[in-house]
């Protein structure tokens, strides 16, 4: 099973809507497939120009390691050099904080990841989770 483009659009739409409803800063949201490749991305008007690399880095580390953003952050706090080294191994495409969210299907298989950036990391995760759940998939933040 894979995230469809239609689902990816809906994930992004609901994440933006959630951010707006909660008064968050303008968000940017990326959807990666199960291989870490880019499926969809949108940057809100008013968001800073480099938000793509941050959003993708959050999602990329999740899907490539099979570990969600919160768990990556815990590892980074316990063992910063490991996470720095993993980032190097992934060509810099790893941002180990919340807002990187694993997407699982009903069997529990990882079918992609979502990366959200623009507000606090915890708020980013809330917005992304709302989007993922809106299309009937499971979010691991």
Round to whole Å and give the CA distance between 134 and 100: 17
Among 39, 59, 128, 139, binds a second copy (CB under 8 A): 39
CA 48, chain centre distance (Å): 17
Q: How far is the CB of 49 from a second copy (least distance, A)?
A: 4
Q: Measured from the CB of residue 133, what is the shortest distance to a second copy in angstroms?
A: 21
Q: Return the half-sphere exposure (C-beta side, CA atoms, 13 A cut-off) of residue 78.
A: 6
3-class DSSP assignment, residue 28 = strand
Contact between 84 and a second copy per CB under 8 A: yes
Q: How far is the CB of 112 from a second copy (least distance, A)?
A: 10
Number of residues forming the site for a second copy (CB under 8 A) = 55
How far apart are alpha carbons 41 and 55 in whole angstroms? 9
Exactly one of 1, 20, 21, 66 binds a second copy (CB under 8 A); which one?
66
The DSSP letter of residue 36 is S
* Helices 121-134, 69-78: inter-axial angle, 10-degree rounding: 150
Counting contacts by CB under 8 A, is residue 10 touching a second copy? no
Using CB under 8 A as the criterion, which residues of the chain lie in contact with a second copy when the complex forms?
Answer: 2, 4-5, 8-9, 33-45, 47-54, 56-57, 63-67, 76-77, 79-97, 110
């Amino acid at each position: 099973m894979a995230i469809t483009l239609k689902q990816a659009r809906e994930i992004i739409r609901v994440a933006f809507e959630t951010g707006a409803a909660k008064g968050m800063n303008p968000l940017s949201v990326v959807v990666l497939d199960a291989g870490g490749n880019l499926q969809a991305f949108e940057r809100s008007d008013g968001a800073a120009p480099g938000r793509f690399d941050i959003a993708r880095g959050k999602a990329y580390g999740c899907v490539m390691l099979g570990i969600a953003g919160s768990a990556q952050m815990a590892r980074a706090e316990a063992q910063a050099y490991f996470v720095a080294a993993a980032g190097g191994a992934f060509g810099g495409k790893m941002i180990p904080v919340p807002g990187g969210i694993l997407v699982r299907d009903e069997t529990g298989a990882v079918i992609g990841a979502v990366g959200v950036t623009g507000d606090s990391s915890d708020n980013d995760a809330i917005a992304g989770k709302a989007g993922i759940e809106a299309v009937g998939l499971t979010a691991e933040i």
